Amino acid sequence: MSDIRTLGEFIVENQHDFPHASGELSSLLGSIKLAAKIVNREINKAGLVDITGDVGSENVQGEAQKKLDVYANEKFKAALEARGQVCGVASEEEDELVVFNKELNREAKYVVLMDPLDGSSNIDVNVSVGTIFSIYRRVTPVGGPAEIEDFLQPGDKQVAAGYIIYGSSTMLVYTTGKGVHGFTYDPSLGVFCLSHENMTIPDDGQIYSINEGNYFRFPQGVKKYIKYCQENVPEENRPYTSRYIGSLVADFHRNLLKGGIYLYPSTATHPNGKLRLLYECNPMAFLIEQAGGIASDGKNRIMEIKPTELHQRVPFFVGSTKMVRKVESFLEAFPDAE
């Protein structure tokens, strides 16, 4: 037991990396840890209580909200507001930003952007889902309410980002710009224990993750890349392996550990892509870069894109450096006709 390092201990040990934060960032991550435990508990009994299925409404993207989407959103909001380290949140499940107006929160330095339950349609069939979060320092004056400009910051301004994956085991993975670290939840102790320190992604891989059911709607360059993966891998003399779960967190987590690429390109029906820059792409881009990989929209570094709206969508290619560079080369070589 003496060798076990908990998430709380690890955060405190590394507070010196953020002398300007005076413990607030550590407390904020503690709020996320608490909410993750609560959501994990409900997910683990999803088949026993009335928490699965649709809630009967749609989110701002026009997608049917699951009961657990709403539950997770409320629990993370409550946890983030309670400790007073956050002045507001933006969520994939909210039409507008949520401003915390208590006096304590107005003095907070941080805002949080989140996808409270990524891949929630998988809940009903007992497949891994996750939570994605992104933390920024506010740019408006402390003491006033959070404003939209606090949230519309490029990804390279993030001070921390991470995800929780609720699967065969529950893990919290995060970065503060000093490497990527993973913590596995021990339900017998009620703590997240350090299990993956300084996670790195292989420079190359054999796994590609994409919803090939949309193949005929993909850009020509992506189609060519998929054919390359299936037919032409001269170094190994065999095709790549296709693995697609349909939960960004789960697909990303596997590829981070094993090496691979996740692709969600533009399509004929979603010309700007479908994933959200602020809630999904920026935090995953921060993580992958800290792990030694890259994230791109097919041409540009994801974290350099200046957001213009809360629910902005972008094409997304993330994973091992050589694989992302290869798909970029195909997109450049085979541009779609204007």
Among residues 332, 210, 221, which one has the least CA distance to residue 264?
Answer: 210
CB 172 within 8 A of CB 21: no
279 assigned to a ligand binding site: no
Cα of first residue to Cα of last residue in the chain, in angstroms, is 62
| 67 annotated ligand binder | no
Q: Is 118 annotated as a binding residue?
A: yes
The reply to whether 304 sits in an annotated binding site is no
Residue 104, annotated as binding a ligand = no
Is 28 annotated in some ligand binding site? Answer: no
Establish whether 136 is an annotated binding residue: no
Helix (H) or strand (E) holding 256: helix 248-258
The answer to whether 242 is annotated as binding is no
Distance in angstroms (rounded) separating the CA atoms of residues 71 and 278? 21
| 211 annotated ligand-binding residue | yes
Q: Is 91 assigned a ligand-binding role in the annotation?
A: no
Nearest-angstrom CA–CA distance, 153 and 88: 14
- How far is it, in rounded angstroms, from Cα 57 to Cα 67? 10
244 carries a ligand binding annotation: yes
Distances (CA, A) of 213 to 114, 192, 217, 314: 27, 37, 9, 19
**Is residue 292 part of an annotated ligand binding site?**
no
The answer to whether the CB of 108 falls within 8 A of the CB of 140 is no
User: Is there a binding annotation on residue 251?
Assistant: no
CB atoms within 10 A of CB 223: 16
Q: Is 121 annotated as a binding residue?
A: yes
| 121 CB-side CA count, 13 A | 6
Q: List the binding residues.
A: 92, 115, 117-121, 211, 244, 262-264, 274, 280
Q: List the binding residues for Mg(2+).
A: 92, 115, 117-118, 280
Q: List the binding residues for substrate.
A: 118-121, 211, 244, 262-264, 274
